Amino acid sequence: MATGEVRKRLGLIVNPIAGMGGRVGLKGTDGAAILAEARRRGAVPVAHGRARRALDALGREDAAFDLLAVAGAMGEADALACGLSPRIVVVGGAETTAEDTRDAARAMADAGVDLLLFAGGDGTARDVFDAVGDRVAVLGIPTGVKMQSAVFANGPEAAGRLAGLALAGRATETRLAEVMDIDEAAMVWGRLSARLYGHARVPVARGLTQAAKSGGGAGGDDALDALARRLARTMEVGRLYILGPGTTTARIRAALGLGNGLSGDLLAIDAVRDGAPAGVDLDEAGLLDLIDDRGASILVSVIGGQGFVLGRGNQAISAAVLRRAGTENLVVLASLEKLLALPDRVLRVDTGDPATDRALEGYIRVLTGPDRSTMMRIAA
């Protein structure tokens, strides 16, 4: 690296208890009671091994950077074990807590880190997001029990590699990725309950694999923007268009000239009619009120990484709303890249009403660009 260039800064946070519940049959490790139960069942820390694998992979990239790590078991120990010499951020006491994660993330953001690499699960991702929002790029080393959030790399090595590329200035772009909020208290008892919590900024591995061959750019984003413009241009007079949460539908709001979100909120469900807002930040009752005999289309995206189109972050688009609008008027939009990255390449719905879920089972056309669609199977 040329002298005089500003060295990038990496922040490292390891949640040492993340993932402990998994091996002993618990569905998470959040909260003191669950952690105690995990330890009682003989759980041992798994985060350190996975964090070190990521740091080793990071070390294989030619990135020069300054490292900030949380003191002790929350990062320092793993950095030292991998031959790195971190500057230390001190938080909390002996037993690590969610508050420690938030404090550390905030301190690192204030110290101007270029990337915050954290090892943990969905709970850790949520804590990091709480502290830094989308002002700092973050990347998760998956070590938790559940990784529903789209801020995680596919594995420890992939996380290390991507971090290395970002620090070496070879992955300079970022995108907004979903942070999911899982109700672990419910999960432990076997119920999956999640909602879209927010959008964190993550680095994009553009050029990591494909670019050298294709020279292509972030094609999925361009295709989605073109699709959003097409949809905005071809909206029918009088018809209601319900826009679900997320960055994909936000492109339609932008194409309509209605800003990033009608309510300025990527988590909100909005509706437009004749190019103008018909409702903002709507709940189920609000949606039901707006749907009339002029017809309605429900435009939703796919939650990256888990494939939910209904029931995660858009619960207000309920079975009753779908019935009134007609399930054939459900329109799903996603980039082809997102669809390919889904486990099993299957879409999922969870409207809370098994009959509606069953009615939605089968194949649906997911719009991936103007005049481009991909047939995807919906499994309830």
Partner 1 sequence: MTEATKQSKLRRYHAARWDEPVIHEMGHPGRRGAVFSQAEEGVRAAVGDAADLIPEAMRRREAPALPEMDEYDVLRHFIHLSQQTLGMMGISLFGTCTMKYNSRLMEGLTARPEVRAVHPHQDEDTMQGTLAMIHGLDRILRALSGMDRFVFQAGGGADAAYTHCCVTRAYHASRGELEQRDEIVTTIQTHPCNAATAATAGFKVVTLMIEENGYPSLDALKAAVSNRTAALMINDPDDMGVYNPEIREWVRIVHEAGGLCFYDHANFNGVMGKLRARELGFDACMYMLHKTFGAPKGNGPAVGAYGCTEALAPFLPSPLVVEDEGRYRLDRDRPQSVGKIREFWGNVPVILKAYAWARAMGEAGIDEASDLSVLANNYMEKGLLAIPGVTKSQPHLTQRRLEMTRYSVGKLQEETGIGIFDIANRMVDFGIDAPWLAHEPWLVPEPFTPEAGELWSKEDIDQWIAVLAEVAREAREEPETVKTAPHNQVVHAFDPAPLEDPDHWAMTWRAWQRKHRKGKHD
Nearer to partner 1, 171 or 182 (CB): 171
Which tokens is 226 given? 């073109």
Closest distance of CB 60 from partner 1, Å: 4
Q: Which of 176, 249, 162 shows the shortest CA–CA distance to 208?
A: 162
Nearer to partner 1, 216 or 354 (CB): 216
3-class SS of residue 257: coil
Q: What is the largest CA-CA distance in the chain?
A: 67
Closest distance of CB 208 from partner 1, Å: 9
- Taking the C-alpha atoms of residue 185 and residue 227, their distance in angstroms, rounded to an integer, is 40
- What amino acid occupies position 40? R
Burial tier of 85 (Cβ tally within 10 Å: 0-12, 13-18, 19+): exposed
Nearer to partner 1, 217 or 275 (CB): 217
Closest distance of CB 202 from partner 1, Å: 18
Closest distance of CB 204 from partner 1, Å: 12
Closest distance of CB 84 from partner 1, Å: 16
Nearer to partner 1, 285 or 363 (CB): 363
Q: 3-state DSSP helix/strand/coil percent for the chain, to nearest 5? A: 35, 25, 40
Nearer to partner 1, 146 or 206 (CB): 206
Q: Go through 176-214 and write b for each residue having 16 or more CB atoms within 10 A of its CB, e for each that does not.
A: bbbbbbbebeebbeeebebebbbbbbbbbbbbbeeeeee
Concatenated DSSP letters for 289-309? HH--TT-EEEEEE--TTT-EE
In sequence order, the 6+-apart residues with CB closer than 8 A to the CB of 215 are: none
Nearer to partner 1, 27 or 170 (CB): 170
Closest distance of CB 216 from partner 1, Å: 7
- Taking the C-alpha atoms of residue 251 and residue 228, their distance in angstroms, rounded to an integer, is 6
CB 90 within 8 A of CB 71: yes
Which tokens is 180 given? 């999911």
Closest distance of CB 152 from partner 1, Å: 15
DSSP character for 75? Answer: B
- Taking the C-alpha atoms of residue 11 and residue 109, their distance in angstroms, rounded to an integer, is 8
CA–chain centroid gap for 134, Å, is 12
Nearer to partner 1, 179 or 231 (CB): 231
Nearer to partner 1, 109 or 378 (CB): 378
CA–chain centroid gap for 146, Å, is 13
Closest distance of CB 324 from partner 1, Å: 24
Nearer to partner 1, 336 or 380 (CB): 336
Closest distance of CB 157 from partner 1, Å: 5
Strand partners, 364: 376
- Taking the C-alpha atoms of residue 5 and residue 47, their distance in angstroms, rounded to an integer, is 33
Nearer to partner 1, 176 or 341 (CB): 341
Write out the residues near partner 1 by the rule CB under 8 A: 56-57, 60, 155, 157-158, 160-161, 169-170, 206-207, 209-217, 336-337, 339-340, 345, 362-365, 368, 371-377
Closest distance of CB 323 from partner 1, Å: 21
